[in-house]
A and B are shown apart, each in its own frame.
Chain A
């Protein structure tokens, strides 16, 4: 890619991200003017009503940026290592797996802080990812999109019944945890963000480091091996990073779907198939998408709000349909 185009792309996306972050601080059941938002950001100790409102919105804005970035990168990595256009944490059922483990942790093991959720979420994500991929790759032709999607949809449907079964009898306790069924960023706290961020940072670093090896992997396993890439290692690293990212995000946000599907495809359209651009750009794109979805949810749901997971599913599912229409029949 030309340097000039790259600069334009980066500056445009960063501007968009900053704008959406500001919008996320300003809009909600009570709108706050831009002046007050900026004022609050520079004088965090201010105690006026507006600045209290803005301060309440800072954690969720920060979290929607981090979570969106993680989901975007996670999707990009999963698509690259499975060489499958529809790989996405939600389609593969990984988010629901993480969700189920956390809900079980809360219900049966009396887990109650984000730093403990995260281990359950990661375990759930890892187990589900391996399980779905194993089933999807059985038989003739390996892991084709249709087989993976079906294995994922089936597993996801099964797991969400289990989530309901765990949640349902504990209505009072679980009212606060309704977002385990539809993901939302509204429950974010600084404590939670701090406890998941080491995992997210680790996942992002592994993802960015493995980008060039993933480029080679796109040429096929034989060629990649010929180019001196240890394909097994790259797959494991990529999968590890993908699971870390989506598992840790789900621990705090519940299952948010389709961000990991939409963003890498959009980025591939904009900046070509080079993973070294796609991975970081997916992070920025995912952050923008999730933040904007969260804002849209606040507008549509006014005066309450609508979970971001619902918005992303509504806009993301047509992308899956588009991909399904474009994929050649043979490779289905």
Chain B
């Protein structure tokens, strides 16, 4: 390669790098703004100074309850769950090389949902047991789908189709559990149909935070391997990647994120699905987009929650807003994919 060519390649590399960093910074700032808005907006609005004092642990009369007990857990849950959904969705989509292969379309989220609803409504337990069983169920569903789609030759399209079937079946189980439930438990469990940030408690946050931090970092760390997997099985093997081992690790991380977040907030529709492609469009190809995808997920959840709470006369749970916002994009994506012949 001549020197000019090297320069062109290098210039392109730096250009992408700068774009990636710029997008990440902008998303971070935007997330921060939304987080502050979540703390600021509400029936009573407190001045930024009061909010800051509450956050620092000071007991301000009235504000300490409104912000510390209601708005802060809500904001943190939205932020963390959004990041978890975004990163996990992006990992699945990149690994299976199809934007439609997100965990909320192929049934992994529903698997976690079934386990969580079962624990809450039937076994009457809460806390970590719910999250752990959600993780186990999510993993089992992921491996079951993978095993079922292996027969003969592996195909991404078949995996998605089987996932859609699995999703329908698991949703039937969730409806069954909800309808059989005690009348008094139903409102608590109803969020499992759409996902909601209502009634978040501070106790739920630390475990979610640790999971997002740990597995999020792992996913960021393995971003390069994920990028190589996206080239396809053969190329990845040729490039010296232990594909099976890497895939297993990535799936584990992603399912942990999805399942923990689902156990806390319920399945917030389309966030896992939307975050990856949106982040990809903004940050451009050629990077591992785990961080932008996570931030995009957080932005989506927080924004949708603000819209759901304040834009209408009635308060809608966040999942319904993301569902309505996400649907047109999903259809647009389908049209574009079909045009370019990218399916399956």
Chain A interface (Cβ < 8 Å from any Cβ of B): 86, 91, 135-136, 138-141, 144-147, 149-151, 153-155, 157-162, 164-165, 168-169, 181-182, 257-258, 300-301, 304, 306-307, 310-311, 313-314, 316-321, 324-325, 327, 329, 332
Contact = CB atoms under 8 A, between A and B. Distances in A.
Contacts, number: 161
Interface residues of B, number: 52
Contact of B161 (A168, A301, A320): A320
Contacts of A139: 337-341, 343
A150 B162 contact: no
A138 B269 contact: no
Contacts of B323: 157-158, 160-162, 164-165
A139 B164 CA distance: 22
Interface of B: 100, 105, 148-149, 151-153, 155, 157-158, 160-162, 164-169, 171-173, 175-176, 179-180, 193-194, 269-270, 313-314, 316-317, 319-320, 323-324, 326-328, 330-331, 334-335, 337-341, 343-344
Residue from A160, A161, A314 whose CB has the most chain B CB atoms within 10 Å: A161
A162 B322 CA distance: 11
A296 B172 CA distance: 14
Given A146-B161, A306-B179, A324-B165, 15 more contacts: A150-B100, A154-B334, A157-B105, A157-B327, A161-B324, A161-B327, A165-B323, A168-B314, A307-B179, A310-B175, A314-B173, A317-B165, A324-B161, A327-B161, A332-B344
Contacts of B326: 158
A138 B335 contact: yes
A169 B105 CA distance: 27
A311 B331 CA distance: 29
Contacts of A159: 327
Nearest to A161: B323
B341 A158 contact: no
B168 A313 contact: yes
Nearest to A321: B165
Residue from B194, B317, B327 whose CB has the most chain A CB atoms within 10 Å: B327
B314 A86 contact: no
A135 B173 contact: no
16 contacts: A86-B161, A139-B340, A144-B344, A153-B164, A154-B331, A164-B193, A168-B320, A169-B313, A304-B179, A306-B176, A313-B172, A314-B176, A317-B166, A317-B172, A321-B148, A329-B344
Contacts of B164: 91, 149-150, 153, 320
Q: Which 7 A-B pairs have the closest CB atoms?
A: A158-B327, A161-B323, A317-B169, A320-B165, A139-B338, A140-B341, A324-B161
B94 to A, nearest CB: 18
Nearest to B150: A325
B176 A258 contact: no
B273 to A, nearest CB: 9
A101 B195 CA distance: 24
Contacts of A86: 161
Nearest to A151: B334
Nearest to A164: B320
B314 A158 contact: no
A157 B335 contact: no
Given A140-B341, A158-B323, A332 B155 contact: yes
B168 A161 contact: no
A257 B169 CA distance: 11
Residue from B149, B164, B331 whose CB has the most chain A CB atoms within 10 Å: B164
Contacts of B330: 154, 157-158
Contact of A300 (B148, B176, B317, B337): B176
Given A153-B164, A164-B194, A325 B316 contact: no
Contacts of A155: 327, 331
A161 B269 contact: yes
A318 B169 contact: yes
A149 B161 contact: yes
Contacts of A300: 176
Contacts of B160: 146, 149-150
Contacts of A306: 176, 179-180
